Structures are given as structure tokens and as C-alpha cells.
Chains A and B, each alone.
Chain A
Amino acid sequence: MAVSGARVWDAAYLDGRTPRRRPARIMIGGEGLEISLTEDGGSLRWPLREIRQTQGFYPGEQVRLERGTMGEALLIADVAFLTALRAAVPEAARGFHDPARRRWQASVAVGAVLAALVVSLALYFWGIPALAGVAADHVPVSWEVALGESAVARLAPPSRRCLDPPRQRRIDEIVTVLLRTLPERRYPFQVAIVDHPMVNAFATPGGFIVIFRGLLDRTENAEELAGVLAHEIQHVLHRHATRAILRHASTGVLLAALLGDVSGVVAFGAETARALGDLRHSREAEHEADRDGMLMLHAARIDPQGMLAFFQAMQRTEGTSGTAVRYLSTHPPAGDRLQALATLAAQGSHPTIKLLPTYDWTDIRQLCASHHR
């Protein structure tokens, strides 16, 4: 034992040139660590501010102190060394681990888990939708159009579209009537009819509206189709699809942060949860498109009973027939949704005009009759 109270610590010294472990003794001095090499003789002084601690943070782990960049290191088995260092040189001890903090490690970990849970829930329910909304508002229309074009090229390739310019013109007329109610035209709206029996319709970012033959066949008059078109136009104007894409991407980043490099099986489960989350948002989007679509019909003086009647007919058929009718199931069905639509429909006060008064709707909806694959 050395001078009054100064304890000597057993250590091993690595010189960073050879893998030799040399026994050493350390004393904590005012200027730094005084190191004496017990086997070879010789001594070193390490100023405290040049020393980094790189190991010795966990129970059972030796304390490792490094100096310089190339491997010079001191290994001290007794973790009490750190406590003694703090006591001897409190002002220099900030860069070193405090073993007294270990007893809090478990509670810190539990706290971190809970905090991570709260943060991720907040991000999921509030942060990401808000962020996606703000970001979607700043996406240039031209990007949306490009995105929509590539989506339509895949989902409704030209070879499967029904080409019948005279009848198509009538449908475009309905779109024009609807668009006239808008203060500005930001999107080049375009309607494509696809030769497929599915009863469905969708809109892509950038103003492409795809109507399947099955849906067109079920419309009784131009007003019913106008209802569907108004609904889809509202999806485009509200940028619902763009938002969904952004939300989907950021949820992916959130999941990656949470799960890290965890295996694919968990990732699959997480993907399912994500899809369910998307569904929740899509329900809100449908409600918005219903409401503003109906307002659009009012503004265009189109009889809102057409939209209502069509949606009611869809609900009836979806209850009975199975596969092909998908319009309300991707556009979620619910009695209260129709209820809300009926209330909105009743609010129209203007007299309505008749759409395409000089044409026979049963003829127009034969648009795909001449299409042969």
C-alpha cells in the first residue's frame, strides 16, 4: 500500500503494438493515472482528460481505459476503481461510468420501453397522419399525375379499355358538368372504362378515374353515374391516395425503427397490423368523399337521389351476391353511411337539371359492347 489512503489497483497494460498482456499497478494521482509495469519495470502517466472508458459498464465486465487511437489500453478487473476515481478527482470523473448508477439500469430500461410505446402510439395515431397530410399538400400536381399515369398503365392497360368515342363523350360531359362547380382546375381529369364485370371504380392520384364495365351496367341513369364520379373526383381533390402512400411509407419507417433487424416473420405480422391501420384511414376518406361528392352534386344541380339510389342498390346486391360486386366493400358499407348520405341529399334546395336529357342511358352504358379482346 502506498501513501496515506491512496490505493493501488491491479491492472493489465496493453501497449497497442503486441498482444502482450503486461501486469501493471495503477495509482490515482492528481494529474492522472500513475502506472507502473510490475514485470518489465518502467512507468507511465496517463492524464485523465486523454483517457476514454470503453468497457466496464455492465456487471461482471472489466474496466477498459484507452488512450490514443491505436490500442493502448488498461484493463482493471475491480469496478470499485471507478468509484475511487470519482471520489479522488470529481471534476475529471464525468467521462467515466458511475457504478452507482447500475442499480437504476433495470428501471431505466422499463421506462424506455414504456416511453417508446407511448412515442410510437403518438406517432402512429397522430404524428404520421398529420405529417402525411402536410406532405401530401406539398406534392406537386405533376408528380401526382406521373404517379397516376403509371398506376393506370398497370391497372387499366389501354388494351382493356372500352373505346367508343361517341358514348365516351357523353360520360365526359357529365364530368365537365361536375368540374364546372370547382373554382380552379388543378387536375386533368380523365375517365377510363375497363371491360371487366367487376362492379367497382377507383381514382388514382392526378385525376384518373377508372370505372369497370360491371359498375356502368348497374347504373340506371346518368345521375347515378354522376354520383359515383363526384365521389371519385373528391378522392382526387382531397389527395387521399397520395396521403395513403405517404402514410404507408412512414409507418414502414416507424416499424423498422421499432423492430430493428428482427426476422421476417415478425415483419409479416407487423404488415398485417399496418394494413388494418390503413383501413381505418380509408373509412374516414370514404366519408369525406361521400360528403363532398354530394355537395358537388348540389352545386352542379344534379339530382342527388341518383347517388343515393345507386349506393342503396349496391348495399342490397352486396348483401346477396358474392364475388363480383365490390364497390361498397372497398368503399366500406354501413347503414349509417347511407343514412348520412340521405340526410345530405335532402339538404339540396335548388331545383335540379336533367343530365343528358336527349340521350338514352341504356344505350350509353353499352359502351363496352363493341369492345373485343
Chain B
Amino acid sequence: MAEPCPRCGTTVPGERCPQCGLVIALYHASLEKMRRGPSAAVGIVAPVSRAPEPPPPSGPAGFRPPAPAGATPIPAMIRRLQFHGSPGSLFGIQAINVLLTLLTLGVYYFWGKARIRSYLLGQSELERDRFAYHGTGRELFVGFLKGLVVFGVPFLVLSVLPAVYGAPDPVTKSLSRLLWLLGLLLVPVAMVGSRRYRLSRTSWRGIRFSFRGSMREFVGLFVVGSVLTSLTLGIYYPVFVTKQQAFMISHSYFGSRKFDFDGRGRSLIGAFLGMIVLFLPTVGLSWFWFSARRHRFFTEHTRFGTTRFRSTVGGARLAWLQISNIVAIVLTLGLAWPWTVVRSQHFYFRYVTLEGPLDVSDVQQDARPASATGEGLAGLLDADFGVS
């Protein structure tokens, strides 16, 4: 009587799936109901679309055959990422990380960071295969030290020396302005460096991701975008962030195959202006609304071969997630951090889908080397530029 669970693919010994708690008979019954007419199906749509039919290991074939003619089409080619992590495990990792970081006077921090990333990626699954993280604490530590030597020390020297040697006021002032500009240049350097490093250390089915965008090009884009944004009093901002996203996505690769991004930032300008107008009346809540809109826009314009991404994240839900996360962290003095991370991961995986055939059979391994110096710089700038 053992059959694979239609939702998560685990072998089900009895009637109920031990993995996701799905009752098989009920599931088939509701599926049947749904075929008969859309009116009865409202509550069922979500679980169905959340259940990608696991195809056999190779090829695009193996999807549920289309529903009989005349019936409501079932979105069979929809896939979702799954997250298996638990707050408990993450809490255990973090507790040991904090202890060892204290005992080693901070050095273990980098190893701890690598363990957290490894856990989060290892618990993320697509098409029955989990992602893997290959970065090490040693790399992060060396990257941090290099970032410190290459960028941090000159910065510190230039900002402290004039004060120590009592340079005249105009000199100190123009120097600090220059440093501020240099600091602005370091942001794009860190963004590209960090993405290059992280993608190069991420794999799925043994194939590494990579980032091949040119640093110089991105710095140029960033400087021009920053200038235009300030000249237009912020109106250019949506175009600017879209250009950044386009650069980041369209130079990202899975093995030998590229991701594509085809969004134009002007589509976001309306939403952005609306957000600004409503910012004060909504006590800032309109920001979440814009943030969700931007997330949907970025996701929906991302393609990987024949696969399109889609997101249904809503502003209210996003606001609830982020505000309640902050409240939980504050109330528990940070102890709830693992819970908020796992929760956020579940949140995004619930609303982001992959649509269309996912055929990776012609993808070849094509890994690129990447150093962790940019990552170290990102750490120095105290910025965490997430990889999405």
C-alpha cells in the first residue's frame, strides 16, 4: 500500500504522510472536487499548487498529465523550493557559535557564519535535491583579514592621522569628504565581491553557481545611479535598484547556463511615488507595500532557461512578517533569532514559484574561482547583501 506522497514525495506507509501530514485519500478527494468545478475548490488551490509532482531525475518529462479537457487546469508545472530547517537545530548551532566566538575572542565568528550558511542552504530543497554550501570559515577569516588590510587600514590611517598630527581644519574636512566618497565606492565593490564569492560556493546537484559580472562595470553603474538618484531627488531610485538587480541576476550562472532578467525600472516608478505619498499617512507601512511590489517585480522578471519565477508576496503579509520578527527579537533579547530566520525562509519559499519546464539536462559544470576578499569587505562595511 506504500505510495509516494503526492505533496512531498516521501514514501507513505499508511494513510497519512509522515513528512507533511497529508492524508492521501482526502487529498485525492479534494483533487477530484476541484476537477469538477472551480467553485468548490477555493480552499484547495493552495495545497495543490504547493505540491510539485517530483519528476524523475532527468529531463522535463514526468509531470502530471494535464487534466481532462474542460476541467480547471491544474498548474502542474509549478515548482516550489522547500525549506526543512527547524528553529531548534538553528538555535543549537547559534548557541555553540556564540560560545566558541567568545572563547576564541571573536576568531570563531567566521567559522560560525559558514556553519549557519551551510545549514540554511542544506535545508533548502528544489526538486528533491538540496542545495549545498562549500564555503569554509577559514576562507571567510582570510577574506576578512585581506579586506581589513586592503581597505580598512588605509581608511583608518587617513581618518585618524590628520587629527593626530593636527592638520589644519580645511585639510581634515576635505579629507573626510574624500573618504566618504571612497566609502561610497567600496559599497558596489563589496556587493559584487560578496555575490561572486557566495554563488561560487553554492551548488545544486553537484553543479556550482557562479557570478561573472565585471566589477568595474558595476561600480560605474552604481556611481551613475547614485548621482542620478540624488539629482532627481530620489525619483530615479526604482530604475537604479532595477538596474542593480538586472546586473546581479543576468550575470549569474548555474553551471554553464545563465539567468536572465528582463524588467525595466520605470514600471516601478508609479509604485515608488505612491509609497512616498502614502508614507506619512500610513506611518511608514506603505514601505512594505512597495517592498513587496518590488519583490514580485524582481522575481517575475527573472528567468532561467525556460523557467520563469513568480512571486505572490503581499505587502500586508510582508509587513506582518518583518514587524513581528523585530518584536520577537527585541522581546527575547535576540534568542528568537533562529525562529525568525526559519520563519522568513518558509515565508519566501511559500510565495515564490518556478513555472514552466525546468530542463537542466544540457547544463555542464562550469565553476569559477572567487576570493572571499569582497565578502570580507562586506563584513567590514557591516552590510549583508543577501543572495537571491
Q: Mark A88-119, 1 if CB is under 8 A from B, else 0.
A: 00000000000000000110111011011001
Partner among A15, A106, A119, A269 whose Cβ is within 8 Å of the Cβ of B102? A119
B283 sits at the interface (CB 8 A): no
* B-side contacts of A263, CB under 8 Å: 326, 329
* CB closest residue in chain B, given A109: B92
Q: Which residues of B sit under 8 angstroms from A22, Cβ to Cβ?
A: 57
Tell yes or no: B384 within 8 A of A by CB: yes
A14 near B206 (CB under 8 angstroms)?
yes
Interface-facing stretch out of B244-252, B291-299, B356-364: B356-364
Flag if A259 contacts B92 (CB, 8 Å): no
Question: Is B363 a contact of A58 with CB atoms below 8 Å?
Answer: no
Contact B208 A112 (CB under 8 A): no
Contacts of A146 in B (CB 8 A): 163-166
The smallest C-beta distance from B365 to any residue of chain A, in angstroms, reads 5
Q: Is B132 an interface residue (CB 8 A)?
A: yes
B129: Cβ under 8 A from any A Cβ: yes
Is there an interface contact between B204 and A113, defined as CB atoms closer than 8 Å? no
Q: Are B206 and A73 in contact (CB under 8 A)?
A: yes
Instruction: Tell whether, in the assembled complex, residue A108 and residue B96 are in contact, meaning their CB atoms are under 8 Å apart.
Output: yes
**Given that A71-B203, A72-B206, A263-B329 are known contacts, is A112 also in contact with B163, CB under 8 Å in the complex?**
no
Select B207's contact among A19, A120, A256, A259, beta carbons within 8 Å.
Answer: A19
B89 cross-chain contacts in A, Cβ below 8 A: 58-59, 105
**Contact of A21 with B205 in the complex, beta carbons under 8 Å:** yes
Q: List residues of B (82-111) whose CB comes within 8 Å of A's CBs.
A: 84, 86, 88-89, 91-92, 94-99, 101-103, 106, 109
A18 CB contacts on chain B under 8 angstroms: 207, 361, 363-365
Tell me the complex Cα distance, A265–B95, Å.
21
Contact partners of A59 in chain B: CB under 8 A? 86, 89
Q: Which residues of B contact A20 (CB under 8 A)?
A: 57-58, 205, 361
Asked if A23 is at the interface of the complex by the 8 Å CB criterion, the answer is yes
Task: Give the interface SS of chain B, mostly helix, strand, loop or mixed.
Answer: mixed
B265: CB under 8 A from chain A? no
A181 contacts partner chain B, Cβ-Cβ < 8 Å: no
Given A70-B365, A73-B206, A269-B330, the answer on whether A55 and B132 have CB atoms closer than 8 Å is yes
Q: Of the candidates B86, B129, B330, B367, which one forms a contact with A21 in the assembled complex, judged by CB atoms under 8 Å apart? A: B129
Contact B329 A55 (CB under 8 A): no
- Say whether B98 contacts A258, CB under 8 Å: yes
Known interface pairs A146-B163, A265-B326. Does A19 touch B384 (Cβ–Cβ under 8 Å)? no
CA–CA, A143 to B204, complex, Å? 53
Q: Is the CB–CB distance between A119 and B384 below 8 Å?
A: no
Task: Report A-chain residues with C-beta under 8 Å of the C-beta of B58.
Answer: 20-21
B102 touches A261 (CB 8 A): no
* Interface flags, A57-91, vs B, CB<8A=1, else 0: 01111101000001111010000000000000000
Q: A253 at interface (Cβ–Cβ under 8 A)?
A: yes
On whether the beta carbons of A61 and B102 are closer than 8 Å, the reply is no
Partner of A61 from B95, B122, B165, B207 at Cβ < 8 Å = B122
Residues on B with C-beta less than 8 A from A262 are 329, 334, 337
Bound-complex Cα distance A109 to B365 (A): 38
- Would you give the shortest CB distance from A272 to chain B, in whole angstroms? 12
Closest 3 CB pairs of A and B: A14-B206, A109-B92, A71-B206
What are 18 sample pairs from A and B whose C-beta atoms fall under 8 A apart?
A: A19-B361, A54-B134, A58-B123, A59-B89, A62-B130, A71-B203, A71-B208, A71-B367, A106-B92, A109-B92, A116-B99, A116-B102, A120-B102, A150-B164, A257-B106, A260-B97, A260-B98, A266-B329
Q: Which residues of A contact B (CB under 8 A)?
A: 12, 14-23, 54-55, 58-62, 64, 70-73, 75, 105-106, 108-110, 112-113, 115-116, 119-120, 123, 143, 146, 149-150, 253-254, 256-263, 265-266, 269
Known: A18-B364, A20-B58, A109-B96. 16 other contacts (CB 8 A): A15-B206, A54-B132, A55-B122, A70-B208, A72-B206, A109-B92, A109-B95, A112-B99, A113-B99, A146-B165, A256-B106, A257-B102, A258-B98, A260-B109, A265-B329, A269-B333
